[in-house]
Amino acid sequence: MTRLRREYRMMKEVLPGNCNGVRRGERHYNAFTLIELVVVVGLILVLTGLVLSTVGYARKKGARARAETEIAAISAALESYKADNAAYPRSSNTDALDARMSGNPGAYQSASLDLYNALFGATNGSRTPNTGAKSYVVFKPNMLFPADQTQNVQYIQDPFGNSYGYSTVQVATQDTTKGYNPTFDLWSTSGLTANPPSSGTDTITPQWIKNW
């Protein structure tokens, strides 16, 4: 009987339905404190920032690599064009564009369209080559703007969403202070839109992807 009374008293001291055996008078906290919540949220924000910066860097690096490949392919097509026509494609637009002066891809679109027409054998940005015309390069859909295949091409697009630059200004003027190559200049501003400085240290052009 003494043993049964002792066990009965112990059962009464345990809270009913509490599987953890928490006794009356004891406090049991399961929630985070405010400081703990602040620390956790701070760590999440830091980790999110690191992930986003890493993703952004990887995308930019991939875009630069793709631009280098595309410039090499277009340059090879230009050499094939010259082999057949004894000159690189030229127009009043490509003769006027100067990479030393213009860093705004919006000013490249006319020259870029002329380059597309010459290399693809099209007229006015048509998605279909002219009858009997030779295509020196097959442009991937993501290299042409707009993406809508039912519309005529407006310019050759770099991986950063801007127009490639194509210039024959040095050939046209025979002035070595204009442009960079005596043959042609082909470049992507790699997403930048600022003009190179007319004097002082040039921090713009070195960031471009280019053939010089």
Give pLDDT, residue 67: 97
Structure tokens at 123: 């007229």
Measured CA to CA, the distance from residue 57 to residue 54 in angstroms comes to 5
d(CA 209, CA 88): 20
Calculate the average pLDDT of the chain: 89
Q: Which two tokens stand for residue 163?
A: 């127009």
- For the chain, what's the residue count? 212
CA pseudo-torsion sign 107, 79, 179, 68: positive
Range name among 4-18, 174-188, 191-205 with the lowest pLDDT average? 4-18
Give the model's pLDDT for residue 6: 59
Q: Where residue 3 falls among pLDDT bands split at 50, 70, 90?
A: low
- DSSP letter at 182 equals S
What is the model's pLDDT at position 11? 54
β-strand partners of 155: 145
Can you tell me the distance from the alpha carbon of 205 to that of 186, in angstroms, rounded to the nearest whole number? 12
What digits encode the pLDDT tens for the residues 53-112? 776 677 889 999 999 999 999 999 999 999 999 999 999 999 999 999 999 999 999 999
Residues 177-198 pLDDT 10s? 999 999 999 999 999 999 999 8
Whether the predicted pLDDT of 16 surpasses 70: no
For the full predicted model, state whether its pTM sits above 0.85. Answer: no
Q: What region, left, alpha or beta, does residue 65 occupy, with left being phi > 0 and alpha being psi -120 to 50 degrees?
A: alpha
End-to-end alpha-carbon separation of the chain, Å?
102
Q: Using CA atoms, how far apart are residues 96 and 205, in angstroms rounded to an integer?
A: 19
Residue 15, pLDDT above cutoff 60: no
